Chains A and B, each alone.
Chain A
Amino acid sequence: MDSIIKKICDGDVRSASRLIRDIEDKLPDAKAKIKKLYAHTGKSFIIGITGAPGAGKSTLTDALITELRKHHKTIGVLAVDPTSPFTGGAILGDRIRMQRHAEDSGVFIRSLATRGALGGLSGAAGNAIHVMEAMGKDIIIVETVGIGQQEIDIVNHAHSVVVVLVPGMGDEIQTMKAGLMEIADVFVVNKANRAGAKQLQMELSSMLNLSPKTADGWKPPVVMVGDAFEPGGFAENIAQMAKSIDEHHIYLRQSGKFKERLQRKAMAEIKEALAACLLEPVLHSLIESGELEKYSEKIKNRKADPYSVAEEITEKFFQKRSKT
């Protein structure tokens, strides 16, 4: 097993992609491998790109890769797309926009399906990031699934969050709402050649004047990105976007906010690991033994209530644990 860890740390794509798959499929020894890998993680800068479906996240990610490669950064990309709640299948199509980087050995792109996770990422995203960190990638870009207002798990994983908006999605009140609007470190108004872009820029700017982030010394910049089919202007806009992200990184380091983010990330990681160590095995054994069905039957017929059942299950679990 150690040879796998070594291969990943040497940057081997096959081993890395396989371990990411083991994590996604929840294979029992994936956890053990992550434990060994963990000491090699924590050195990459992680950028989150989020926004509504079709806003242009993948196209911007592709352009950002090109920009960052000019500066010889090595890059990992995790691109998340939704899983069907009916069949479990998924179309992972973000890669289409990024295929020109497929042969660049400095870029590793891996698609993930959400597999039921509701926060805009996949349950495997956190550990998939760790795998890419261990590979030694300088920068990891995590592109979320197309999201609405509050699928904002990305905030627990990324150091810098880019929120991509497009004109024509609603009035000023939308910018006042909690959730998505609060997590942006950099706003991108994409398709800014379209009607309504200027207005959106103004609305964001006035919203940001009241933002707690602004009070802390970082007013999230609003980067206008125009038509991707007009190469000259687009490239310039993308350079601006990359620069804004970089400036945010510098701000985080200088202000001490970077440590706060790492703390938040660590807490989220503990919660995730707890769920994997406590909740999942309990549910798993309940399903295996058929008890879950029996308990459901009781609750359905009002012979028990869900809380008493949960307490009973918890007690049994801890009794079993203390015996072993």
Chain B
Amino acid sequence: MPERKIRVMVAKPGLDGHDRGARILARCFRDAGFEVIYTGCHQTPEQIAAAAIQEDVDLVGLSCLSGAHRVLFPRVVELLREKDAADISVIGGGIIPEQDLPMLYDSGIKAIFTPGASLDSIVVWIKTNIKPH
């Protein structure tokens, strides 16, 4: 039987131009056999949500090193819900203090990976938790 390929979008919301981590992840997802849509830096949550829907991705991976994750990450989840696309999961990563994790999880972010997380652990998480639409 033909099988669904996992489609992932990697995006950097907000005013943060440090995209090395996001690029490495995009490469790593490619090597894991996913189709990766990379949208680059300086994206508004609105742009990210719209692109995720146009691309019919299963997962949006957000990277943020600027400290604005408390606002930007939940906003992406909220916008996807508004647009009837709550089935698109959102995960995040970057410089995120431990004490922010509960509010991010509460807002609907499915997983948060902070510095030190191995690339493998992220790929395994996706393969275990994301069933393509």
Chain A interface residues (CB < 8 Å from chain B): 13-14, 17-18, 20-21, 24-28, 83-84, 87-93, 95-96, 99, 102-103, 108-111, 113
9 contacts between A and B (CB under 8 A): A13-B53, A20-B56, A83-B35, A87-B32, A93-B37, A95-B39, A99-B43, A102-B39, A113-B35
Since A102-B39, A110-B54 are in contact, a sample of 5 more A-B pairs with Cβ atoms closer than 8 Å, ordered by chain A residue number, is: A20-B56, A92-B55, A96-B38, A99-B47, A111-B35
Contact B37 A18 (CB under 8 A): no
> Is B30 interfacial (CB 8 A cutoff)?
yes
Contact A92 B38 (CB under 8 A): yes
With contacts A14-B84, A89-B31, A99-B40 taken as known, whether A111 is within 8 angstroms of B55 at the C-beta atoms is yes
* In the bound complex, CA of A50 to CA of B14 (Å): 32
> Is B116 interfacial (CB 8 A cutoff)?
no
B38 partner, pick from A28, A93, A113, beta carbons under 8 A: A93
Q: Is the interface of B mostly helix, strand, loop or mixed?
A: mixed
Which residue in chain A gives the minimum CB-CB distance to B30? A89
Interface residues on B, range: 20 to 34
Q: Which residues on B sit within 8 Å (CB–CB) of A92?
A: 35-38, 55
Q: Which residues on A sit within 8 Å (CB–CB) of B51?
A: 95, 99, 102, 109
Contact B47 A102 (CB under 8 A): yes
Q: Is the interface of A mostly helix, strand, loop or mixed?
A: mixed
> Is B97 interfacial (CB 8 A cutoff)?
no
Q: Which residues on A sit within 8 Å (CB–CB) of B81?
A: none
Q: Which residues on A sit within 8 Å (CB–CB) of B31?
A: 84, 87, 89
Contact A88 B84 (CB under 8 A): no
B29 CB, min distance to chain A CBs, angstroms:
7
Contact A95 B50 (CB under 8 A): no
B122 CB, min distance to chain A CBs, angstroms:
14
A89 partner, pick from B35, B38, B46, beta carbons under 8 A: B35
Contact A90 B36 (CB under 8 A): yes
* In the bound complex, CA of A95 to CA of B36 (Å): 11
* In the bound complex, CA of A109 to CA of B9 (Å): 14
Contact B36 A26 (CB under 8 A): no
* In the bound complex, CA of A113 to CA of B37 (Å): 10
Q: Which residues on B sit within 8 Å (CB–CB) of A110?
A: 54-55
Q: Which residues on A sit within 8 Å (CB–CB) of B32?
A: 87, 89
* In the bound complex, CA of A113 to CA of B47 (Å): 21
* In the bound complex, CA of A96 to CA of B56 (Å): 16
A95 partner, pick from B3, B30, B37, B46, beta carbons under 8 A: B37
* In the bound complex, CA of A26 to CA of B53 (Å): 20
Max chain B Cβ within 10 angstroms of own Cβ: one of A14, A92, A110 = A92
A101 CB, min distance to chain B CBs, angstroms:
9
> Is B34 interfacial (CB 8 A cutoff)?
yes
* In the bound complex, CA of A282 to CA of B25 (Å): 38
Name the interface residues of B76-130: CB closer than 8 Å to any CB of A.
84-85
The interface bits of chain B over 12-44 (1 if a CB of A lies within 8 angstroms of the residue's CB, else 0) are 000000000000001101111111111110011
Contact A111 B30 (CB under 8 A): no
Across the A-B interface, give the 8 residue pairs with the lowest CB-CB distance, nearest first: A89-B30, A17-B56, A96-B40, A102-B47, A26-B2, A102-B50, A88-B33, A89-B33
Q: Which residues on B sit within 8 Å (CB–CB) of A88?
A: 5, 33
Q: Which residues on B sit within 8 Å (CB–CB) of A24?
A: 5
A53 CB, min distance to chain B CBs, angstroms:
16
Which residue in chain B gives the minimum CB-CB distance to A89? B30
* In the bound complex, CA of A84 to CA of B30 (Å): 8
> Is B69 interfacial (CB 8 A cutoff)?
no
Q: Which residues on A sit within 8 Å (CB–CB) of B4?
A: 21, 25
Q: Which residues on A sit within 8 Å (CB–CB) of B55?
A: 17, 92, 95, 110-111
Q: Which residues on B sit within 8 Å (CB–CB) of A111?
A: 35, 37, 55
Max chain A Cβ within 10 angstroms of own Cβ: one of B7, B50, B53 = B50
> Is B131 interfacial (CB 8 A cutoff)?
no
Contact A91 B54 (CB under 8 A): no
B77 CB, min distance to chain A CBs, angstroms:
17
* In the bound complex, CA of A102 to CA of B35 (Å): 19
